[in-house]
Structure 1
């Protein structure tokens, strides 16, 4: 059967390295997540081109591209929704695009010389229509009850990136050109109501690629909205890797290797009012897919190390629920999500994602089942802090408790905290929630005055976000102290030596403290030379008294913006 089933694993810290001996981890940022099922099948391919999901018969079809030579054969692997391979369809030449009829009764397959159709129940060949030769791998969609597919002819495979792609169609056992064509690969993605989207891959003959929406309901496709993305200086051009259309047809999402995940309004392809957050640093967009029920979106990426390769999150970009973040890293799972490598089941219960290794010669099918039930979470009991008097530049602990309904999470939840003070709002990062629900936010405030701490739980695919909780802490100046060691007696001839130690808590002083020294005797009070504190906090005062009797020495420091002032005194009896 060549499949592996295991529960989803969470990394121990944000973007933690893959667990030893495993290939898949799930990073925790910015909030922890509940478990998601993950089944993995190793594909019998050394190349990949297309994925199609049959929701009626619960089958997944995957095509082995194998382009590059007219002698290359092709194959289509067929899996169940559980990840079991049930059949392999072999064809005489390389095979690429896959598409299903609206009723899922027919599978369309793009081959080098022909367009095949297969019965999705029996997997038997139904028709083979001769079409224009394709050297580079076809894209196939179905709209208006007929297939549309691309054709590229070149003398050498190296020319595929810039060779002209033609959009063709086949109906009634014959093929015909639609008249639409352009340089390089043209990606096709079907949408609802007999629409489809065409996007051009970036190449040396297309410095400013396009995306266009087509109506395929009639005899010939009609282009509606179209857009290019580069500005007047040529910057911002699209580097397209994948296209997805929302189930209601209102939005188009693009996996743009240059800009991440773009979200567009289908009507005019303008930017949506609210877009998705950026992919994690170091991740390059490679694939995108809307859930069949419109609830979630999957955003695939190419990343290395412990950087997430896949985010599964609410399709509504204004929903702040933290995404599930998957890291694919290792010989059991692949290293990244391939372009055009994701599709959902119609009910949104399963995501099918294809990954590949660094070399791009091995492939895996991941069947991911996000949790379907969401439970409530809430903060209880308010926030407390210690020490009771916060001071600038010293550690402060803010404590609270988060309660969550439903089963215990597989890994600890995390909360996010910020501090707002006179200079604005500062992100303090994420903090682990213990098994009893308690958490501790650690900070070191650096300004005196009020500091408001806000703790958030953003939720995940199993838990709803909790209402934020806040507390305001008055941050005072850090204390300082001066300790003196003085002799009981001194003399007019040998003088007086006093040593001492200056201590400042909180933030380190920008410069060494300079202490004021005064002496009061029977002749009055006078100011002596100031003394600079050494790096270890010590200092020494040497004085030649001017008269006999008691001499009171006072050492003081006035304080600064973050520290209180301090002083200390000592009395020495001066003899002749």
Structure 2
């Protein structure tokens, strides 16, 4: 096999080349195909699960930390570039994790609870008491409910947990816990799929001579098993060494990473072997993980292998497609040694593959973010960015506009760009916006601070488009204007009760934290003086009543000093005073 070593960026070419010192081998592929990669060293010493939020472009990696029952857990949060954004510390060891269908909630399976975290703030928003788990849960969101396993053993040792009695439980949309009644021995694994499918698999263990796979319909109030299969060799011994499962996007196939048999491809309706299966893994490689791309075009097959033997294959999901896979061999301290069990997930659009690798000791982990092999075209931002209105003010909308050009055919789905705003309080993510058919896009924002606000727009690429160089634009944000309008009589009489002036105070931008207090000054031929201040009403109006001290012209000046976000304002009215 022709191979080529690589650094952080992979580019398989027709000819092989060696770039020393990186420890990763990549098989040669046509020049029109390429893969790019970023690698992050994970801050964990054990691994339990990974979840990918394609809505917010986040990757969650959980540290099982099961060595002692009082251990806290952690979930490391990364963006699609491999930058760690935060770490969620859980009160108990965390095992399985899962995302709600809309990506708004992260569920964590802990020792005694199912916790819910907001994926925007990463804050805990709710907990559901669960049955006690001593070995680690598997979680999957299917049919509008969260399903989770509850293994229980007197000891959390590997041997005891491998043979633990495990129940399948659920938490419904109202966060009510229930026990489904399905149970068996061993650390049962869950995987959700299209059409409200839930797949449950049983790793081989001493209590299960014939380990099983089962497919459930999760669309109703109770789980209905639609397919089941037990695996045994001719001697009746377990013939399924389960490491991972994946359901194809159309729900028709189930791929199984079987350490004893490679990557099995099954029909989901009855779990029979597919007419055509995947080619065997390279000699010496043992299957550890499997995942379909969200668009159904590719399958990633992870393995544990040593030396230059590939640990990861990216290939067409259709087993009848004979296109040679792109192969990766992890063999060094910069990459890990092989793909961890359950260590593969894709973004929903298939533009990113996320792989967790581990070393041979199983106490260090790496997150690889890989763009799959595809014909890729260049992209670029043209013309820079502009904004409106010309003078931006704190607390009012600002539109930042630009244009993304791309080579090659029009994308099947509109491209999206991501934007951030950096100001005196740091960098704020503004989410993604859709690129119009003519390449233009508009980022809407409401800056909250006075001063410079720098907008950065990024395009991370997709299956057929390479990332574009980021474009930035700095906007000077000013204070929001305020105004005071007065209505005063032309003449007033001291004997008839004095002067009454009404007015309106208006402040644009961000709402004031408290009602404005206005300063009132009076000036006549005897001199100037400050009257009692007036507080503006909730509707912005106010009234000033005064008994002048002398005749002739009297001028009333009303002012507000402004604050950190609003300009000062003033207004005056002159009244001719009679006796």
- Scaled to the shorter chain, the TM-score interval is 0.5 to 0.7
**2:288 matches 1:279:** no
2:183 is the alignment partner of 1:181 = yes
Tell me what 2:60 maps to: 61
**Distance apart, 1:229 and its partner CA:** 2.0
Cα pair 1:13 1:27 within 8 Å, conserved: no
The offset of 1:32, in angstroms, is 8.2
Whether the 8 Å CA contact 2:267–2:274 is kept in 1: the answer is yes
Structure 1 residue ranges (4+ consecutive) displaced by more than 4 angstroms after TM superposition: 9-14
State the Cα deviation string for residues 203-238 of structure 1 (Å, max 9, x = none).
111121000001111112111100012144226711
Is the CA contact 1:95–1:112 (under 8 Å) kept in the aligned structure 2? yes
Contact 1:11–1:25, Cα closer than 8 Å, also in 2: no
Tell me the equivalent position of 2:310: 308
| CA positional deviation for 1:34 | 3.6
1:354-412: CA deviation from partner (whole Å, max 9, x where unpaired) = 0000110000000000243279xxxxxxxxxxxxxxxxxxxxxxxxxxxxxx9xxxxxx
Q: Which residue of the partner structure matches residue 239 of structure 1?
A: 241
Mapped partners of 2:150, 2:347: distance in 1:
28
How do 1:303-382 residues align onto structure 2 when only pairs under 5 Å count?
Answer: 303-373=305-375
Question: Distance between the aligned counterparts of 1:83 and 1:374, measured in 2?
Answer: 21
Residues 482-521 of structure 1 deviation map (CA, whole Å, 9 limit, x = unaligned): xxxxxxxxxxxxxxxxxxxxxxxxxxxxxxxxxxxxxxxx
Give the match's secondary structure for 2:34: coil
Distance 1:221 1:26 in 2: 43
Task: Tell me by how many angstroms 1:180 deviates.
Answer: 0.5
Change (3 A) 1:225 1:179: same
Name the structure 2 match of 1:255: 257
- 1:167 alignment counterpart: 168
- Counterparts of 1:143-542 in structure 2, within 5 Å, are 143-158=142-157, 159-171=160-172, 172-234=174-236, 237-373=239-375
* Deviation string, structure 1 residues 460-492 (Cα, Å, up to 9, x no partner): x99xxxxxxxxxxxxxxxxxxxxxxxxxxxxxx
Say whether the 8 Å CA contact 2:12–2:35 is kept in structure 1: no
Partner of 2:125: 126
Kept after mapping to 1: 8 A contact 2:37/2:368: yes
Q: How big is the shift at 1:284?
A: 0.2
Deviation at 1:28, TM superposition (A): 4.0
Identify the residue that residue 99 of structure 1 maps to in structure 2. 98
Alpha-carbon distance between aligned partners in 2 of 1:229 and 1:372, rounded to the nearest angstrom: 36
Taking the aligned partners of 1:306 and 1:278, their CA distance within structure 2 comes to 17
Aligned to 2:35: 36
Alpha-carbon distance between aligned partners in 2 of 1:13 and 1:83, rounded to the nearest angstrom = 29
CA offsets, 1:321-357, max 9 Å, x none? 0101001110000000000111001111110000000
- Contact 2:354 2:370 survives alignment (8 Å): yes
SS in 1 for 2:375: coil
> How many Å separate the matches in 2 of 1:13 and 1:103?
44
Tell me if structure 2 keeps the 8 A contact 1:59–1:80: yes
Please, what TM-score do these two structures have when normalized by structure 2? Answer: 0.62
Paired residue total: 372
Matches of 1:359 and 1:32, distance apart in 2:
37
Report the alpha carbon displacement of residue 105 of structure 1 after superposing the two structures with TM: 1.1
Distance 1:313 1:82 in 2: 23
d(CA) in 2 for partners of 1:354, 1:374:
25
- Closer, same or farther in 2 for the Cα pair 1:347/1:5, shift >3 Å? farther
Compute the RMSD of aligned alpha carbons.
2.3
What residue number does 2:82 align with? 83
Provide the C-alpha distance between the structure 2 equivalents of 1:201 and 1:33, rounded to a whole number of angstroms: 41
Contact 2:211–2:238, Cα closer than 8 Å, also in 1: no
Distance in 2 of aligned mates of 1:83 and 1:272: 36
Partner of 2:111: 112
Q: Tell me how far apart the structure 2 counterparts of residues 360 and 19 of structure 1 sit (CA, whole Å).
A: 27
What is the alpha-carbon distance in structure 2 between the residues aligned to residue 179 and residue 33 of structure 1?
52
Q: Counterpart of 2:27?
A: 27
- 8 Å CA contact 2:59, 2:78 repeated in 1: yes
Give the whole-Å Cα distance in 1 for the aligned partners of 2:260 and 2:231.
Answer: 11
Which residue of structure 1 aligns with residue 8 of structure 2?
6
- In structure 1, C-alpha distance between the alignment counterparts of 2:99 and 2:136, rounded to whole Å: 18
Gaps of 5+ in 2: 1-5, 378-407, 409-462, 465-579
Shift in Å, 1:173: 3.6
Query: Runs of 5+ in structure 1 lacking a partner?
Result: 376-405, 407-460, 463-576
Give the secondary structure class of the aligned counterpart of 1:160: helix
Deviation at 1:85, TM superposition (A): 0.4
Q: Cα distance, 1:11 vs. partner?
A: 10
Per-residue deviation, residues 280-334 of structure 1 (Å, max 9, x unmatched): 0000000000000000000000000000000000000000001010011100000
Q: Higher relative contact order by CA 8 Å / sep ≥ 6: 1 or 2?
A: 1
1:5-54 Cα shifts (integer Å, max 9, x gaps): 8211659999x9x964213221349x888431010011000000001010
The 1-side partners of 2:238 and 2:324 are apart by: 28
Question: What's the counterpart of residue 429 of structure 1?
Answer: none
